[in-house]
Amino acid sequence: MMKSSDVVTPVQLAVTIISTMIGVSLLGIPNFVTEKVGTAAPLSSVLGVLMGGLGILAITLLGRRFPKQTLIGYNQKILGKKLGNFFSIVIILFFLILMGVETRHFAEVIVGSLLPDTPISISIFFMIFLCASISFLSVSTFVYIHFFYLPFIIIPLLIILLPSIKNITFYHLFPITGHDVSIGMLFSGGMNVTQAISNFMVIAMLIPFMKNPKKCIKSGIWGYVIGSLFFIMTITIALAVFGPEEMKHLLWPTLILGQMVQIPGDVLSRVDAILLIAWIFAVFTTLFSYYFLYVRGVAELVRSSKYRLISSLGFPFVFIVALLPKDIYEVYYYVLEVTLGGLILTIIYPMCLLILAIIRKQRGIAE
């Protein structure tokens, strides 16, 4: 049941999208895109952003069409209760699995960069525990947490990215269409970006809590554009600094950029440590969104307000998924496979729902 205090503003909706999009993948995404298309990585990234934009547009249009219903609610209304619930469960399971593999990715970076003597299971446990311990709180608390952490994410990123511009070698960016890069290869590279940023479905659980849900489209697009710009900037600057050949040998190019930045006067000797801290915040807000969608989604499906119990039940599932990969290369394999399949749920599925709702002339009740 919606509480009167649970009100989401348009700015908070946009902020939630930004902090959810900027997450685990930001450290390694330049490597994946450049490996496929070389100097065409920036162009391919823009193409990937445009493809992902179809998903955010479909979800916000659905939110405006069904202003008092979450993803679970309009799934049932458009597809019928049984089929709608089936797809809701599939989406919830997808985000739980995605949370598991991205938590493992997070733990690999932490153990490899900060805590080499710490068992990887400890890092996994505490990140999941942190998300699980607060996901049952109110919607207002959820968006406030995103709002609070966003400056601690984007300001350090800018501290890393902007000074790195002086290390740019412009010929690394040419030709902008790449060397013998086909349209198919451009789409393939762009797909990696789409996979990294198409995790915004959590807003389908927030739009009904907006005082004026009609503003969700503008907020959604602004949030998506700003979040996407950080990915395009990161990929472009990393490519311009390292070049396509050197990039192939860097597992986490964004982290290396942080190690290259020097603050005048040696105020900070390890600027990359600031980036890692900001990245940890970014990972937390992303995984927090996944778990929030799980908790709220299951609660609505079973018509229960026992968020704490539901949150506790998801913990072991995510923990087991996170422990399945053997090493970082297997982690990347699982992340790419899961997110590739997830594009059907985050982009194609909302578009199909929207088309069905339009054909059947289905709308929700505004009040």
How confident is the model over 166-195, as pLDDT tens digits? 999 999 999 999 989 999 999 999 999 999
Q: For position 367, what pLDDT does the model report?
A: 47
Q: For position 113, what pLDDT does the model report?
A: 83
Per-residue pLDDT reduced to its tens digit, 333-353:
999 999 999 999 999 999 999
Q: For position 1, what pLDDT does the model report?
A: 43
Task: Tell me how far CA of residue 186 lies from CA of 29, 47, 245, 248, 303, in angstroms.
Answer: 15, 8, 18, 17, 45
Q: What is the mean pLDDT of residues 243-262?
A: 88
| 361, burial (CB in 10 Å: exposed 0-12, middle 13-18, buried 19+) | exposed
Comparing CA positions, the residue from 155, 170, 308, 145 lying closest to residue 243 is 170
| 198, burial (CB in 10 Å: exposed 0-12, middle 13-18, buried 19+) | buried
CB 24 within 8 A of CB 106: yes
Q: What is the mean pLDDT of residues 282-291?
A: 96
Q: For position 134, what pLDDT does the model report?
A: 85
CA–CA distance, 329 with 335 (Å, rounded to integer): 10
Q: For position 159, what pLDDT does the model report?
A: 87
Q: For position 264, what pLDDT does the model report?
A: 61
Q: For position 262, what pLDDT does the model report?
A: 72
Per-residue pLDDT reduced to its tens digit, 49-71:
999 999 999 999 999 999 999 99
Per-residue pLDDT reduced to its tens digit, 70-126:
999 999 999 999 999 999 999 999 999 999 999 999 999 999 888 888 999 999 999
Across the chain, mean pLDDT equals 92
Instruction: Please give the distance of CA 207 from its chain centroid, rounded to a whole number.
Output: 18
The neighbouring-strand residues paired with 8 are 210
Q: Name residues whose C-beta falls within 8 Å of residue 106's C-beta, 6 or more positions apart in sequence.
A: 24, 123, 124, 127, 280, 283, 287
CB 262 within 8 A of CB 279: no
Amino acid at 283: V
Per-residue pLDDT reduced to its tens digit, 298-334:
999 999 989 999 999 999 999 999 999 999 899 999 9
User: What percent of the chain lies above the pLDDT cut of 70?
Assistant: 95
CA–CA distance, 341 with 324 (Å, rounded to integer): 18
- 246-165-146-189 Cα dihedral, nearest 10 degrees: -40
For the ranges 1-10, 139-148, 186-195, 329-338, which has the lowest average pLDDT? 1-10
Question: According to DSSP H, which parts of the chain are helical?
Answer: 10-21, 29-37, 41-65, 71-79, 81-113, 120-132, 139-164, 183-197, 216-247, 253-260, 271-301, 307-323, 328-343, 349-359
Given the structure tokens 């998506």, which residue do they identify?
224
Comparing CA positions, the residue from 310, 316, 278 lying closest to residue 296 is 310
Q: For position 273, what pLDDT does the model report?
A: 82
Counted residue by residue, the chain has a size of: 367
The CATH topology of domain 10-359 is Amino acid/polyamine transporter I (1.20.1740)
Q: What is the mean pLDDT of residues 232-259?
A: 92
Q: What is the mean pLDDT of residues 201-220?
A: 95
Instruction: Please give the distance of CA 346 from its chain centroid, rounded to a whole number.
Output: 11
Amino acid at 188: S
Per-residue pLDDT band for 204 (boundaries 50, 70, 90) equals very high
For the ranges 50-54, 245-249, 267-271, which has the lowest average pLDDT? 267-271
pTM of the predicted structure, to 2 decimals: 0.95
**Rounded CA Rg of the chain:** 20
Q: Name residues whose C-beta falls within 8 Å of residue 110's C-beta, 6 or more positions apart in sequence.
A: 118, 123, 280
Q: Name residues whose C-beta falls within 8 Å of residue 264's C-beta, 6 or more positions apart in sequence.
A: none
Handedness of CA 76, 218, 19, 54 (dihedral sign): positive
